[in-house]
Chain A
């Protein structure tokens, strides 16, 4: 069965520090992978997606993620955190010819001044 695991429900970084949010997936078929951000009481905004093209995917707001098949990972990174990056981040996987998304449990990012 397909699933997504996000390691670390909370991540805290200082402003300007590297952001690393971890995501591992399990899929018996080639996956399509997504990172979404959610601000309080709001819907989800797509940060970036991997759909079998380049393994290093660049997204909005300076975020990027690398698909590593050997590690079944799709970790999200940003070189320098901003206060405005504080939010909940969800990794999601889709597979086959459906658009059904399976979400990870989310990681809350806190950014300290």
Chain B
């Protein structure tokens, strides 16, 4: 099946710094990728839809200036958490759209802000 990778798998950063998370579709091209956030023992919440070559579409309540998304190629989307704070600590998961109603999920990135 299709494979999506995320890097890094874990990251610890200090409050006030920025962190970049990469999401790559390894064996298919994805014009659309999605970014989710998952708090411990909770469900996934869609943060934004990333479209190659255009601006991301953010869900209501998600700060676009804090969570910068860049989808510069058909296989790579990045999420940058700017000026991270402890409340941004979470599990971030991306997915890549292979075809209609067919998404493949990355393994997730655990962000801890100290």
Name A residues whose Cβ lies closer than 8 Å to a Cβ of B.
Answer: 32, 34, 36, 41-46, 49, 51, 90, 94, 99-106
Give the dominant DSSP class at B's interface.
strand
* 25 A-B interface contacts by CB (under 8 A): A32-B101, A34-B101, A36-B105, A41-B110, A42-B107, A42-B108, A43-B6, A43-B106, A44-B44, A44-B95, A44-B105, A46-B103, A46-B104, A90-B44, A94-B101, A99-B100, A99-B103, A100-B49, A101-B34, A101-B46, A101-B103, A103-B43, A104-B43, A106-B42, A106-B43
Chain A residue numbers with a CB within 8 Å of B105 are: 36, 43-45
Give the distance in Å from the alpha carbon of A90 to the alpha carbon of B6 in the complex.
21
Give the distance in Å from the alpha carbon of A34 to the alpha carbon of B105 in the complex.
13
Q: State whether the Cβ of B93 lies closer than 8 Å to any Cβ in chain A.
A: yes
CB distance from B5 to the nearest CB of A (A): 10
Taking a contact as CB atoms closer than 8 A, the residue among A42, A99, A103 that contacts B44 in the complex is A103
CB-based contact B42/A105 at 8 Å: yes
A99-B97, A100-B46 are contacts. A43–B32 as well, Cβ < 8 Å?
A: no
Chain A residue numbers with a CB within 8 Å of B49 are: 100
Q: State whether the Cβ of B79 lies closer than 8 Å to any Cβ in chain A.
A: no
Chain A residue numbers with a CB within 8 Å of B32 are: 99
Interchain pairs with CB closer than 8 A, number: 50
Give the distance in Å from the alpha carbon of A88 to the alpha carbon of B96 in the complex.
21
Chain B residue numbers with a CB within 8 Å of A34 are: 101
Give the distance in Å from the alpha carbon of A101 to the alpha carbon of B43 in the complex.
12
Q: Which residue of A lies closest to B32 (CB)?
A: A99
CB distance from B94 to the nearest CB of A (A): 8
Give the distance in Å from the alpha carbon of A99 to the alpha carbon of B105 in the complex.
13
Give the distance in Å from the alpha carbon of A102 to the alpha carbon of B42 in the complex.
13
CB-based contact B101/A99 at 8 Å: yes
9 new A-B contacts, CB < 8 A, other than A90-B43, A102-B46, are A34-B101, A41-B91, A44-B105, A99-B97, A99-B101, A99-B103, A101-B46, A103-B43, A106-B42
A99-B103, A101-B46 are contacts. A43–B108 as well, Cβ < 8 Å?
A: yes
Q: Which residue of B lies closest to A91 (CB)?
A: B43
Chain A residue numbers with a CB within 8 Å of B45 are: 103
